[in-house]
Structure 1
């Protein structure tokens, strides 16, 4: 068999994931910018008055509202215009969001910008895992799927590093440039061969596969035939909404939805959106801007390890480590806030604990809960059902994100920050036991083998 060039898959997936870095920059924008927008002196705010607590909550919450819409737009676009052009359309939505944010003179502009960013986020989470899964060979599919979290952390780190030390406008202009870099680079990347085959465009599929694999036309013929046979059998019937809730499809559905529930109710988006506020409220010794940068660096390093090990350790072990670690760190963070609220003298000697807890949380989240639910989404569903199930699952994730970001701060103010962190920690502990007993291992299995495993039948496909 012709050897090919494995690096091409990583390069193409990496360029595609620049979109995730760009949207993460937008998601992390709230952490340094909230401080500017809530400043009573309005030193570096385009608004006529400081943001109220309620307005801040809505600025955070409009993004997941947009993501719910974007998930359905992305699912429709992926099947109609392809994965590549769907991702480019998502970039256009994000650029519109940045124009509104850069031109903001009233809080309504921020609401609108966050909605457009949310549409982008929903489209990316719907289409990007599909794109990476469809260009990947079986032996690197987990690694390519895990790039999503690593690139998101690049975006977070960039906005944490730039935001506290530059003006509101500069942060917005860098965000626009980020989107432009993705759109220009990704324009030259191929569509997925699976999409072309689903449209009966066999020669275009073969040309795509030649670019992705780095092989000759003859060298990809066998893989094209295998893909075509699988797609042909999958597309013989058109999947409906009811198909998502039948048999092995329902098993894939509830596993993916449950993992995304544990992902979101780890509190990750609340932590990202309100990180600077959390550090300021904790009163730790380090300046909040330095604390967020430290967390961002560690977050990036940790997430870069996942693609290196996920196809060796599988999916279950990183998920187990991740849920255990996030539960532990949230428990410690809750304990710090409890003794802080009680004005205990011990607080002065454990000022390091918020940063230590946040670092443990981010590291272990980045190893499993962050990337792997989305990687599994790209693996567990058959092709004809994936197009129907993915928008529903992404929309469900958007609803969860909205609930956490909208009500995190009000509940924390009403009950105490320690209560919120302990509740989130309990959710992560539940995720540990769910993974232990119900999540299947997909390491090294072809998409057909995974379907056979979920259905409880002997595999009909040999390993690629």
Structure 2
């Protein structure tokens, strides 16, 4: 019996005996998790393309002539609605995503996000008036809200404990790839071509992800162990026998969760509420560091700064920095841990925003030193974006996917995600007006203050989840000692 143990010894709860020796002997193929998660996140890259769409397209909509499908320049108020209406759809998308994930599964839930994305792109491509752009942005938002709910859930459930952080940070990496693509081609191609590329992007995701496996947790929740075995074997690159030990652990987690029927009220009780307010606070700081205001209005910021560098080129540089910085996080998220990266990120974004605020304050006061500091907006944005990509960007989604127990996740995650997009709506809708009232400098100082608050919140209240099983994380939230 030396080679046999119990799921209790591995995850802190009773379960069927598992063959530990077989589990160790069959190493499997770790790369499969990364490939599957990467294909799942192609849709997230498409989301980044949709979200960054306003940066080059706003300039096209301000022009007269054939390049503007509206036939006349868009007003400042119309531009604000174009930027913010995506987030209106994204507020409701998480609830559709949570329902789809629990009823038809994580895989088919993700594939169903292509429906609103396709509708949105068709409306954008066929635009004849501003209402069609508004409608297209809302449909994009529905799809994006669904994606931001289901994708972290799917990646967390296919990952092993020691790769869950890396796979969770794929969301940030792939969304920046989408931003880089739109920033790179947007200024140089027509409005219609931008839309056709978006349609192709979504189609590539549908075709690729169609052949990917379902989450084994979903099959176990439906009592279908045979299908769970088959998909876990595919994900791990092991035989059916070689995944039985891990499947026993998953089954024990699911079995304990299925004994409870979660309601909305359960989200606000005990350790669930602690997970909920931590998740909501992290997405609050993620949004109120000002990232979406910066990304949605990147070109406008460079033009306002009167940088010597062409605004389109500067935007491409920032997009490239986004991607390179996001490549680092998957490599270190499971080594350094979530807390230290969030602390570094909060400090770095605060410094970058303070520098940006100083530049615009000096510019507003017509200080002559500004002419010698035209490099500062790019330098500050690079610092801001690099450190954002290390922590505040990806890790709130990683932590959210880890903190909630299985039976609560499908209810709590959509609420927290909808809260995130509600904040995004207010920021993108009113950023221009606040910047006019307070000045760009004052606006960036407010965002910097939120980053400082994020540092202290993380320092005192966010638990470390690196390398912990789902059950161990629940024990930490409940204040119990956890078995390794």
Q: TM-score, normalised by structure 2?
A: 0.94
Equivalent residue, structure 2, for 1:224: 247
User: Is the contact made by 1:36 and 1:42 (CA closer than 8 Å) also made in structure 2?
Assistant: no
For residues 65 and 347 of structure 2, what CA distance do their matches in structure 1 show?
42
Query: Which of 280, 290, 295 is the matching residue for 1:257?
Result: 280
Q: 4+ runs of 1 displaced by more than 2 Å?
A: none
For residues 393 and 12 of structure 1, what CA distance do their matches in structure 2 show?
25
- 1:37 matched to 2:61: yes
For residues 249 and 355 of structure 2, what CA distance do their matches in structure 1 show?
51
> Unaligned regions of 5+ residues in structure 1, if any?
none
Instruction: Report deviation, 1:458.
Output: 1.8
Q: Deviations over 1:419-441 (max 9, x none)?
A: 11110110111001111111111
Q: What SS does the corresponding residue of 1:190 show, helix, strand or coil? A: coil
After TM superposition, the structure 1 = structure 2 runs for residues 2-401 of structure 1, keeping only pairs within 5 Å, are: 2-39=26-63, 41-401=64-424
Query: Which of 469, 475, 480 is the matching residue for 1:446?
Result: 469
For residues 73 and 477 of structure 2, what CA distance do their matches in structure 1 show?
53
Instruction: Report deviation, 1:38.
Output: 1.0
Instruction: Report deviation, 1:43.
Output: 4.5
Q: Deviations over 1:206-226 (max 9, x none)?
A: 000010000001001111111
For residues 65 and 182 of structure 2, what CA distance do their matches in structure 1 show?
20
For residues 296 and 250 of structure 2, what CA distance do their matches in structure 1 show?
42
Q: Which moved more, 1:414-423 or 1:181-190?
A: 414-423
Instruction: Report deviation, 1:391.
Output: 0.8
> Unaligned regions of 5+ residues in structure 2, if any?
1-23
For residues 261 and 204 of structure 1, what CA distance do their matches in structure 2 show?
38
For residues 374 and 247 of structure 2, what CA distance do their matches in structure 1 show?
58
User: Is the contact made by 1:62 and 1:111 (CA closer than 8 Å) also made in structure 2?
Assistant: yes
Q: What SS does the corresponding residue of 2:169 show, helix, strand or coil? A: helix
For residues 42 and 452 of structure 1, what CA distance do their matches in structure 2 show?
62
User: Is the contact made by 1:146 and 1:307 (CA closer than 8 Å) also made in structure 2?
Assistant: yes
Calculate the aligned-residue CA RMSD, in Å: 0.7
For residues 379 and 294 of structure 2, what CA distance do their matches in structure 1 show?
14
Instruction: Report deviation, 1:42.
Output: 3.1
Equivalent residue, structure 1, for 2:14: none
Equivalent residue, structure 1, for 2:455: 432
Q: What SS does the corresponding residue of 2:391 show, helix, strand or coil? A: helix
After TM superposition, the structure 1 = structure 2 runs for residues 393-412 of structure 1, keeping only pairs within 5 Å, are: 393-412=416-435
Instruction: Report deviation, 1:91.
Output: 1.4
User: Is the contact made by 1:25 and 1:175 (CA closer than 8 Å) also made in structure 2?
Assistant: yes
User: Is the contact made by 1:20 and 1:148 (CA closer than 8 Å) also made in structure 2?
Assistant: yes
What is the count of residue pairs matched by the alignment?
460
Q: Deviations over 1:259-305 (max 9, x none)?
A: 00000001111111100011011100100000000001011000000
Q: What SS does the corresponding residue of 2:29 show, helix, strand or coil? A: coil
Q: TM-score, normalised by structure 1?
A: 0.98
For residues 223 and 321 of structure 1, what CA distance do their matches in structure 2 show?
34
For residues 314 and 395 of structure 1, what CA distance do their matches in structure 2 show?
26
Q: What SS does the corresponding residue of 1:189 show, helix, strand or coil? A: coil
For residues 129 and 405 of structure 1, what CA distance do their matches in structure 2 show?
24
Q: Deviations over 1:13-49 (max 9, x none)?
A: 000011110110010000011011012x234110022
For residues 227 and 247 of structure 2, what CA distance do their matches in structure 1 show?
11
Q: Deviations over 1:102-125 (max 9, x none)?
A: 110101011001001100111011
For residues 465 and 437 of structure 2, what CA distance do their matches in structure 1 show?
43
For residues 430 and 301 of structure 1, what CA distance do their matches in structure 2 show?
27
For residues 370 and 252 of structure 2, what CA distance do their matches in structure 1 show?
64
Q: What SS does the corresponding residue of 1:139 show, helix, strand or coil? A: coil
